[in-house]
Every structure is written in C-alpha cells, then in structure tokens.
Amino acid sequence: SLFKPKLVTPLPFSTYVSRIYLMKLKEDDDACREALRSGNLMLFHKLAPLVRRNKHGVCQSPRITTPVEQILEKLGQDKQLVNEAVLMSSTESNEPQFCLDVDLQQNGMEMLCGGVFMDIRKAFLMLRTPDASMVAKGQALLRWHQTHGFCSATGHPTVRNQSGSQRVCPNSGITYYPQMAPVVMALVSDGSRCLLARQSTFPPGMYSALAGFCDVETMEEALRRELAEEVGLEVETLQYSASQHWPFPQTSFLVACHATISPDKTELSVDKAELEDARWFSLEEIQAALQMKTPPLNRRSELPGFWVPPAVAVARRLIQEWADQQQ
C-alpha cells in the first residue's frame, strides 16, 4: 500500500492518566465553574493573545492567576464575563487551564495584566513552541465559540456548556463541537533531494513542505491529488511523521508525512496560481538553511534568498528528519 507506517513513534513522558479527572470538568458545569475560580487563564483581546517578557527577556504567554473578576471590576466591567472562559486542558502541573477573550479597554487590561495583546502571527515568531501551541489552541476554541452562536439548521441561538466543549441548539437538539480543518503536508524526496515550495504570502525567501486541505477524502487521496495539482508529481510511498494544530489561516489540523516519488519522474509542473515557486533542494542547501536562526534577519533586516520555517512549524521537523536520514 501507499502508506508505510512508522513502527515506533516515541512520545514524551505523559501525565495524561493523572490528568484525566480534569476532563470530567467538561461534563460537570458546577465543577467547571468552581475550577474557573481557582484555575489559570490565558487572556486574548479580539483573539490577539496576551504576551509578556520575563526577566530574562524571554517572551511568554502568561497565565493570569489573579482572579479575573477582580481585574474586570477594576475596569468597571461586568464580572460575569469570566463565565465565557473556555476550558483548554490542564497544565503539566495538573491545573485546569482556561482561555478568555475580552473585547474591552485594551490599554487598561494590558496595564493590569502586565503584557501586550499581540497579533498571533507575530506572537508565533516570538513564543517558544509549547506556549505557541497553547496560544493557537486557545485562539481556535475562542474563535469557534464566536462563530458558532447560531444553529445552522434552525438559525436559533446555540447554548454552550460551562467548559465550552460543545454548543447545543435547544430547538433542533443538534450538538456542535469545536472543529479543525484537516490538512495533509508532505516533504517529498526523490532519493537525494527534497522538494520545497513557497506561496506568495510567505515571508520573502522562506520555502516549506507542500500542503493542502483535505476534501471529503482520505489523507492518501488528498496527498496524491495535491501533489498532482500543485507540482505534477506521482507519489510512491508515504510515511507518517507527526501532526500539529495550526492557527493559519484558521484552525487546521496538519498531518505531516514524508513522501517519495520515483527518481526517474522528477520533472516539476508548478501550478503558479497556488505556488510562487517549487524547487528541488540538495542536502547541502538544506543543511545550510537548518543552521540559520529564524527568522534569519541580518542587521539591515534583510532576509536571505532561501530559509526554512522555524521550529514551531511541523514542516521544519520534516526537513530536519529528512536531513538526518541522508547522513
């Protein structure tokens, strides 16, 4: 078959079993409301996450542990707003974690919380990967609630549970759950080179692995279709590497794979409507790009002609794995 499963995918040490009780908060509104009083919050303003530098200059997404009711009261706002928080998960130290979007008094909020609300694209380049992932998750949940206030069958307002894990239409009885759009991403290799491409919206010089949204189809079908459409290549094998939730343009679920094609059918036919450029890169070019810090701005804020995405992007993991496999 097309798909060659990876036999062993080592996962980092997990505390999921001890954290499972927190998932009960999803179903128990009272327990969830109680947890919200003591749990920590990740704040957003119009979906821009709060970001702060710690004393070492490292950018972080701070968890607000001062009761948000107090902050809201100080700003003269209705403290019930805190009940709009959504349960995200639990932290590594077993505390429930929530996110909340406040569309009010940006400056006052920033002063009281000691940070700035930053566009998520910028925040993604400054935060470390675990914080960036949490920010992406919080934004996705909050955006989903903001855009699913009405039942798409009856037009009636939907009602959320306290944790925000679902919304129900009291009229039709339909339950809605937060969703992601599945995307398949592949780093294609012809045996000695790998294929990277850029869209005109990427920062100048950045090339990444190919990706495309799945229609109602399998991942294998989506990958074959995308590669045929975008670069005119026929896939031979596919190997799963990792997955990632990605906030651009909105909540996608990226499934990242390595793909191979036959070394005698490597000619590209690039769809210029989708891609600005697609090229084969040698191991030497890839290794040089992996050495650069990202984004690789020099003193005059110029970007080099070729660089690869930062560590927060699963595409970089694919590129690193490919380079490691060539040694």
Ligand X SMILES: NC(=O)C1=CN([C@@H]2O[C@H](COP(=O)(O)OP(=O)(O)OC[C@H]3O[C@@H](n4cnc5c(N)ncnc54)[C@H](OP(=O)(O)O)[C@@H]3O)[C@@H](O)[C@H]2O)C=CC1
Residues of this chain that interact with ligand X (CB under 6 A) are: 181, 183, 208-209, 211-213, 226, 246, 248-249, 252, 254, 274, 309, 313-315
* Angle formed at CA 166 by CA 163 and CA 167, multiple of 5 degrees: 115
Q: Give a three-class secondary structure readout of 277-314.
A: EEEEECHHHHHHHHHCCCCCCCCCCCCCCCECCCCCCH
140 binds, among Mg ion, ligand X, none (CB under 5 to 8 A by kind): none
57 binds, among Mg ion, ligand X, none (CB under 5 to 8 A by kind): none
If you ran DSSP here, which 8-state letter would residue 162 be given? S
Pairing relation of β-strands 48-53 and 59-60?
antiparallel
The whole-angstrom separation of Cα 27 and Cα 122 is: 35
Beta bridge partners of 168: 159, 175
Q: How far is the CB of 320 from ligand X (least distance, A)?
A: 12
Q: How far is the CB of 230 from Mg ion (least distance, A)?
A: 6
Query: Per CB under 5 A, which region of 30-38, 181-189, 204-212, 309-317 contacts Mg ion?
Result: 204-212
The whole-angstrom separation of Cα 60 and Cα 46 is: 19
If you ran DSSP here, which 8-state letter would residue 206 be given? B
Establish if 212 lies at the interface with Mg ion (CB under 5 A).
yes
- Residue nearest ligand X, CB atom distance: 315
Q: How far is the CB of 133 from ligand X (least distance, A)?
A: 12
Q: How far is the CB of 201 from ligand X (least distance, A)?
A: 9
Q: How far is the CB of 79 from ligand X (least distance, A)?
A: 37
Q: Which is nearer to ligand X, 49 or 309 (CB)?
A: 309
Q: Contact residues for Mg ion (CB under 5 A)?
A: 212
